[in-house]
A and B are shown apart, each in its own frame.
Chain A
Amino acid sequence: MEATVTTQAVAITGLQLRRGSFALRDVNVGIPTGFVTGLVGPNGAGKTTLIKALLGLIAPDAGTLRLFDDQDAGTSAAQDRIGVVLDRVTAAPEWRAGSIGRRIGALYTQWDETYFQQLLERFDVPAGNRVNELSRGQSVKLSLAMALAHRPELLVLDEPSSGLDPVARRDLADILREFMLDPNHTVLFSTHITPDLDDLADHIIVLTAGRVAYAGMLDELHERFAVVRGRAPFPENARPATIGLRLESSGAYEALIRTDDTALFGSDAMIEAASTDDVVVHFAEQARATRGGSDPGPSVADREEIH
Chain B
Amino acid sequence: MQIILSSTSSVPMYEQIKTQIRNAIHSGDIAEGAFLPSLRQLAAELRVSIITVTRAYNDLVAEELVANEHGRGFLVLAVDAGAAQRALEQHVSGAVANLVAAGRSARMELDDITRKVEEEWKQL
Contacts and interface: CB of A to CB of B under 8 A. Distances in A.
Given A36-B50, A177-B47, A199-B52, A183 B40 contact: yes
A255 to B, nearest CB: 24
B72 to A, nearest CB: 9
B39 A2 contact: yes
Nearest to B68: A1
A86 interface: no
Given A1-B39, A1-B54, A1-B58, A200 B70 contact: no
B43 A177 contact: yes
Interface residues of A, number: 22
A180 B43 contact: yes
A34 B12 CA distance: 23
Q: Tell me what chain B mostly uses at the interface: helix, strand, loop, or mixed.
A: helix
B52 A181 contact: no
Given A180-B40, A180-B44, A219-B55, A200 B49 contact: yes
Nearest to A182: B40
B93 interface: no
B48 interface: yes
A123 interface: no
A201 interface: yes
Contact of B51 (A3, A35, A177, A182): A35
A35 B50 CA distance: 7
Contacts of B48: 199
27 contacts: A1-B39, A1-B58, A1-B68, A2-B38, A35-B51, A36-B49, A177-B43, A178-B44, A180-B43, A180-B44, A180-B50, A181-B40, A181-B41, A181-B44, A182-B40, A183-B40, A199-B7, A199-B13, A199-B49, A199-B52, A201-B49, A202-B49, A202-B50, A202-B51, A219-B12, A219-B51, A219-B52
Interface of A: 1-3, 34-36, 173-174, 177-178, 180-183, 199-203, 217-219
